[in-house]
Chain A
Amino acid sequence: MTNGGFNGEGVYAIYRFEMARALRTLWQSLVTPVITTALYFVVFGAAIGSRMTDMDGISFGAFIVPGLTLLSVFMQSIFNASFGIYFPKFTGTIYELLSAPISSLETVLAYVGAAVTKSMVLALVTLATATLFVDVRVEHPLLMLMFLFLITTAFCLLGFVIGIWAQNFEQLQIIPMLIVTPLTFLGGAFYSISALAEPWRTVTLFNPVVYLISGFRWTFFGVADVPVWASVAVMLAIIAACLTAIIWVFRTGYRLKQ
């Protein structure tokens, strides 16, 4: 160890490895998700956007940009981070990670750090693409980046947990497909929840994704469905829950060691 306490070389090695993997699969990791999201912008923004009513005084095309960007970010964060740790488990190369002088925190930092980097790039490219089709403004750019960073961190941590838990490719896809997508569609990606009638409005407030989308959208347009502090609290809670799960996994060796 170059520096007794922290295996920086090890973290960097994993980070580089993960980034190299993303570059090798650029179509899958960046181009495809950006095009998919851009299709929504084309349809709802440029094509039929003018026929939709404004939401909270914002044109519909622009209104959906933060939510749809997040949908893509949720999915890719989970896929990226879960695949990063699942694949070595699947091929058996995890033996090297388990036998290396690297702590669990360093391992998480490396894998999740790489996944967060990829998700941030994806989000920014998606937002840049959106400006080609709809008129978006960002009222609080710095806060927007901070929100994005916390949200990608939360979902990359979640992805990491899923990657450790999953024992086959199907399980790897179940949570993003079956839980995250519906929660996002029902979480106000396409509408303001104030437009909902009771009891749906109250029910919707149990969906954590509502808080993420609302907070993120606030950094764009300055309007929110729920208080901004509540959005921050939910993000931090997800991060804390995932970190707790990961620490427990590494303590017990759950699904990593026999």
Chain B
Amino acid sequence: MSDAILEVDGLRKTFGGIVAVDGATFDIAEGSITGLIGPNGAGKTTTFNLISGFYEPDGGTVRYDGRDLQTIMRPHRDETVIWGGASGLTAGTLGGVVGLGPLGLGAAPAAGATVAGAALGAGGYLAKQRLTQRRPGHTNSRPYMLAREGLVRTFQLTRELGDMTALENLMLAPQGQAGENLANAWFRRGAVAEEEASVRERAEETLELLEIDHLRDEPAGNLSGGQRKLLELGRVLMLEPRVILLDEPVAGVNPALTEKLMARIEALRADGYTFCIVEHDMEVIMELSDTIIVMNEGKKLVEGQPDAIRNDEAVIDAYLGVG
């Protein structure tokens, strides 16, 4: 399928003896809403953790927008500069100090020792980095790099930033804010303040949209379960992503608001967002989804349109019949 934005192929993850995800294979089409359902313990959340980079897979691949996740999550420049620089600096200083002090060398040989140490340190780090990245089966876990590329997720067990207000939770999210750089926070305060005002405005709009604007200045830790779900949804919306993985987004949200959220998700899909949603509320997921993927015991059981899934014998046996 050429319009698949996510291609999951033979994904595998084990925890000790438990095989949580066992060769799951499916595609998610760009601009679609895909429902991911299955009994508790089927491996849905683990699949989300693998797709969003929080877990390192034991096998299989995920491609996002045609690129392998592992390629996207390779160490980025900041990190390489910090580590390479630090290794060089440490080795160089050690070379210089040991040369001057205990070895009692003159100034010139000590300077030589410093330079040699620095080169060895930085070079050694870079070489080690190259080698590990080339090793077959090497995996990286840098989920933030996926989020930067527009692949974001919410958490089944909500993770709000409890000390921070609802508004701040949302204002944190937008990518590449100039004020996140300390130098800008000090020296370009005008520009930062301007940007901050527009981020604040968007965050307030999002709060209104989710009908939690009255909680604007409430520490997120004081929010109820359903309100936290909404806050998390708002947070990923602030990121302006391409693909959103929602893990049980309406658990604990009241029915009236659930209706509104569904309408909102539909509208966002019409704008080009792609959704993959884990949800136990069958009415919601059947109504919302274009495609439903049913998982059981870490594998895809069946995939199809909601109507077909509703009548599928295997699904009724594994899942629907139980509830």
A in complex with B: no
